[in-house]
Each structure stands twice: as C-alpha cells, then as structure tokens.
C-alpha cells in the first residue's frame, strides 16, 4: 500500500517536475494516427491502380473482380441506346427529317457523349445543336438519366434512304469515384422519299417546309427616273421553318445590253430555338445602267411545297422597270463618235461650199451649176447667157458679159409669137434663133421684167442640147 502511494507520488511528481513528458505522449499519439490514415489511403490508391485483382475464397477458388464494360452494362439493361425518325411517314425531297439518338442509364453520366461522323447517301446531314439534351425520366418506378441528340436530315433524291449504324462514345458512372467509357452502336434506320408533285420533277427552284416567305426590296424604287451610271440594287429575302439556308435556290442575273449586273454579298443563317429550326437567306443583285431607254428586270419565282398542308404554291418577285435618261456627260460619252463624224461632215460641207462659191464667182464650174446658182440668187441676166451656152456650142468659154442681153427689147414680141405657134418643135427652133440673134446684138438697156425673164427661162429648160446647130 505504501509502495503504491509512493509510485503514484513518484509519477505525479515526475510530470509536475517535467511537463514536457505530457507533450511527448500527445505528439506520439498524433504521429501514430497519421501514419495509420496514410497507410489506408495508400492502400486505396494502389488498389485503384490495379483494377484487375484476384482473391482466393475459402474453398481455394480464385474470383476475378473487374469493373463492368459498356457491353456488360448494356446486357444487364443498365445502359440503353435507341433511335427514332420523325416524321415516320413518307417525305418529299428536301423535307426535314429529324433523327433522335437517345442514351439512357440507371446511374448517371460521368461526361458528355460523342457522335462519330457518318454519311447518308443522297442526303444532307446537319448537326444543328452542338450539345445533347440532358434530362431524367422514371420508368417502372426507376429513374433514368438521359442524353438525347437531335440531327436533321434533308434527302435530295426519291427512293428508300438508309441511315447506317452510328458509333456513339459514352462515359457512364458505375459507382462513386469510377466510370466506364465505351462505344455504343445504333441500329440502321430507313425512310421513304416520294415526289409530291410532277411539277417539281424538272426544277430545283423549290423549298419543302411548313412555312416559307419570299420578299424583294428595290433601291431605288420601281418607276423612279434613272440616269446612265446609276446602280439598281435588288435584295431578295427567303425565310423558312424546318429547313436550311444551304438548300435555298439561287437566282441568275438578268441578261441585258442596257445593264451590267454582278452579285452582292449573300447572308445566310440557320437558327434553332427550343427545338424549332428556321433559316433565312438574303441575296443581292446589283445592276449598273449602261444605256438610256426603258430598263426591265424580269420576274423571279420559286416553288414552295407546304409540308404541313401538303400543297404546292408558287412564290414570285414581280417584274420591275425604270426609265433611264442621259446626263450631259453620259450623252457625250455615248455619242462622241457620232458627234465627231458630224463635225467632220459639217467641216467638209462648209469647206466644199466655200470652194464651190469661189469657183462660181470665177465662173469655173459647169454651166448647169452656174445656171442653178444664178436662179437661186435671182441673177436672171446671167441665167439667160448660161442657158444659151448650155444649148449652143458657139461659145466654149463660159464668161458672163454684163452688157450683153440676149433678148433685148424683143421679149414681149417673142412671147406673143410663141403663143401663136402650132408646134412645140417650131417654138423651140424659133426661140433658139431669137436667142442667137439677141446674143449677137449688144443691148445696154435691161428693160425686161422678172416675170418675162422667168417665162423665157422656163422654155429654155425644156429645150434639149442643140450642140449640133
């Protein structure tokens, strides 16, 4: 008894004397507990590095424990993949067909799925949504996690279209802290494409969609006055639901000698909002006016197959016209060659006229020209001499003599004699003789009136050439 009290006294005395001993004991306990936890974590890490481990049972058999593969999960009906098409009935060319790929698991997904690229013959395949829809659903009291992809198909030919099997990579969690990655394959799908209307057999200008609009806008407005060099911009806009802008038809430029056309920028866009798809495309045609007159742009049209009401409609953009006039600069540019030729002709005409007048004044032209000029200028004395020289070969030199009068004072008597003649031939001979007599006489007085002169000149024009007399 005394010994125990002495021992207790001694231990307590030691701790009171040396308080560091209590701290050392506490430190040793902390170190031991830490080492135990590190050993447990290290063991778990080693096990995760070596998933394929074998353990011996009591009867000596060895059982392999391996994480489940994608195929095993699928066989155990813990992982499913299904596909479906909408609509399920026959469709028309270029009509949208939705392909849905649904992956379901009774646990949860450790990551997103990935659809491998694939091709469908005579069909345009588009992945309009970049991500899958994620949601949960309960089936027979069991909750399933679902990832659903939606792809759009646009067939381009009639017949039976086959969608091949598609590889889908998934990442599924089989238990906390681990996941299974692998590839699933869909089952092939089939759908039928039929031509809904014979009018679509020989044209590509059509769109198959539930709703389509076709509009045009002109700058400047139809009917405005234009000038050469002005530009006309024709903007065409097509909008459609459940379609793609890449399927919209194109429109050729109008061919005209009065217009030079080229294409402007094209804006196309595919949109989707909460599962609804739409597309719009904006075309621009720009024409520069080259000539004056009436400029016409033809009507444009396309077919719309209404997949909702199953009706064929023709959408049109009406024809347009403008009146084009010249600006002073454009007129000069357009007709400068004609203007130059006109100036050359005018210059030659003026120069020729001046040259002719000078020769007439010098009496160096043929008698006929001198006679016509004398009539125009009403110089009847000259005309009388030129007429005589035209019908007589006595004078070879045509020179007007101012003092010479061919008829003299016998003009009135000749007029009466001519009226009394019975024969035209005798009148011509008598008139010629009288003029020859008058030519041989010098007459300083010119008492004939203009009327009398014109009377004789009229008869002289009817007398043929008498060069033989």
Would you state the pLDDT for residue 129? 84
Per-residue pLDDT of the chain (469 residues; tens, 9 = 90+): 434 444 444 555 545 555 565 667 777 877 888 888 888 877 766 655 544 444 444 444 444 444 468 888 888 888 999 999 999 899 999 999 999 999 999 988 988 899 999 999 999 999 888 889 999 998 888 899 999 999 999 999 999 999 999 999 999 987 777 788 999 999 999 999 999 999 998 888 899 999 999 999 998 888 778 888 889 999 999 999 999 999 999 999 998 888 999 999 999 999 988 778 999 999 999 999 888 888 899 999 999 999 999 999 999 999 988 888 766 666 666 667 777 888 899 999 998 888 888 887 777 777 777 777 777 777 766 777 776 666 555 445 555 555 555 544 444 444 444 444 444 445 445 555 655 555 455 444 444 444 445 555 555 555 544 433 3
Residues with Cβ within 8 Å of 196's Cβ and at least 6 positions away in sequence, in order, are 92, 305, 310, 312
Cβ neighbourhood burial of 226 (10 Å; 0-12, 13-18, 19+): middle
What residue spans define the domains of the chain? 19-53, 70-193, 209-325, 363-460
| Domain range 209-325, its CATH number among 2.60.40, 1.10.260, 3.30.70, 2.30.30 | 2.60.40
Q: Give dist(CA 97, CA 245) in Å, integer.
A: 16
**Which residues fall within 8 angstroms of residue 189, CB to CB, at 6 or more apart?**
83, 84, 85, 99, 162, 163
CA pair distance 276, 255, nearest whole angstrom: 39
Instruction: Give residue 443's pLDDT.
Output: 45
> How distant is the alpha carbon of residue 137 from its chain centre?
49
Which pLDDT score, from 0 to 100, does residue 332 have? 63
DSSP-derived pairing of the beta strands 167-175 and 178-185: antiparallel
Q: What pLDDT is stored for residue 449 in this prediction? A: 45
Q: How would DSSP label each residue in 436-456?
A: HHHHHS--------HHHHHHH
* Angle at 229 (CA atoms; ends 227, 233), nearest 5 degrees: 90
Contacts of residue 359, defined as CB under 8 A and 6 or more positions apart, other chains included, come to 365
DSSP string, 180-196: EEEEEEPPPEEEEE--S
**β-bridge pairing 320-325 and 225-227:** parallel
Dihedral over Cα of 410, 416, 418, 422: its sign: negative
Q: Would you state the pLDDT for residue 159?
A: 95
Q: Which helix (H) or strand (E) holds 227?
A: strand 225-227
pTM > 0.85: yes or no = no
CATH number of 70-193: 2.60.40
Domains 70-193 and 209-325 share a fold: yes
The pLDDT of residue 362: 76
pLDDT score at 457: 58
DSSP 229-247: T-EEEEEEEEEEESS-GGG
Residues 190 and 162: beta-carbon distance below 8 Å: yes
Q: Do the Cβ atoms of 363 and 400 come closer than 8 Å?
A: yes
CB 108 within 8 A of CB 135: no
Q: Residue 113's closest CA among 83, 152, 81?
A: 81
pLDDT (0 to 100) of residue 464: 46
* Continuous segment of H or E residues that includes residue 12: helix 2-17
């Amino acid at each position: 008894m005394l010994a125990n009290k002495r021992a207790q006294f001694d231990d307590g005395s030691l701790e009171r004397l040396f308080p560091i001993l209590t701290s050392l004991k506490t430190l040793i306990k902390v170190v031991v507990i830490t080492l135990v936890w590190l050993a447990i974590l290290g063991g778990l890490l080693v096990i995760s590095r070596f998933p394929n481990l074998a353990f011996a049972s009591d009867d000596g058999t060895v059982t392999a424990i391996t994480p489940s593969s994608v195929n095993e999960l699928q066989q155990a009906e813990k992982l499913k993949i299904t596909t479906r098409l909408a609509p399920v009935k026959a469709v028309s060319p270029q009509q949208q067909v939705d392909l849905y790929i649904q992956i379901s698991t009774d646990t949860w997904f450790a990551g997103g799925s990935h659809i491998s690229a694939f091709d469908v013959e005579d069909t345009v395949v588009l992945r309009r949504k970049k991500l899958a829809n994620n949601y949960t659903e309960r089936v027979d009291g069991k909750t399933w996690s679902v990832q659903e992809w939606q792809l759009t198909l646009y067939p381009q030919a009639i017949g039976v279209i086959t969608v091949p099997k598609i590889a889908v990579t998934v990442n599924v969690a089989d238990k906390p802290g681990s996941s299974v990655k692998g590839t699933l394959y869909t089952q092939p799908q089939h759908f039928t494409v039929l031509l809904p209307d014979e009018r679509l057999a020989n044209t590509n200008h059509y769109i198959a969609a539930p709703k389509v609009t076709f509009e045009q806008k002109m700058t400047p407005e139809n009917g405005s006055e234009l000038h050469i060099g002005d530009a006309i911009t024709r903007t065409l806009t097509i909008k459609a639901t459940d379609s793609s802008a890449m399927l919209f038809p194109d429109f050729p430029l109008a061919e005209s000698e009065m217009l030079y056309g080229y294409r402007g920028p094209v804006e196309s866009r595919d949109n989707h909002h909460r599962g609804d798809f739409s597309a719009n495309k904006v075309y621009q045609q720009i024409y520069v006016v080259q000539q004056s007159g009436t400029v016409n742009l033809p009507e444009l049209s396309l077919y719309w197959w209404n997949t909702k009401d199953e009706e064929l409609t023709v959408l049109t953009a009406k024809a347009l016209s403008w009146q084009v006039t010249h600006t002073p600069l454009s007129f000069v540019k357009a007709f400068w060659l004609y203007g130059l030729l006109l100036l050359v002709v005018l210059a030659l005409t003026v120069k020729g006229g001046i040259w002719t007048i000078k020769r007439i004044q010098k009496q160096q032209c043929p008698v006929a020209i001198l006679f016509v000029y004398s009539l125009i200028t009403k110089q009847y004395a000259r005309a009388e001499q030129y007429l005589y020289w035209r019908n007589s070969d006595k004078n070879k030199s045509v020179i007007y003599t101012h003092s010479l009068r061919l008829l003299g004072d016998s003009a009135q008597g000749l007029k009466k004699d001519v009226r009394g003649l019975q024969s035209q031939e005798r009148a011509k001979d008598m008139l010629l003789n009288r003029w020859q007599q008058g030519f041989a006489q010098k007459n300083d007085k010119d008492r004939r009136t203009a009327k009398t002169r014109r009377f004789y000149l009229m008869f002289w024009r009817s007398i043929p050439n008498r060069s033989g007399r």
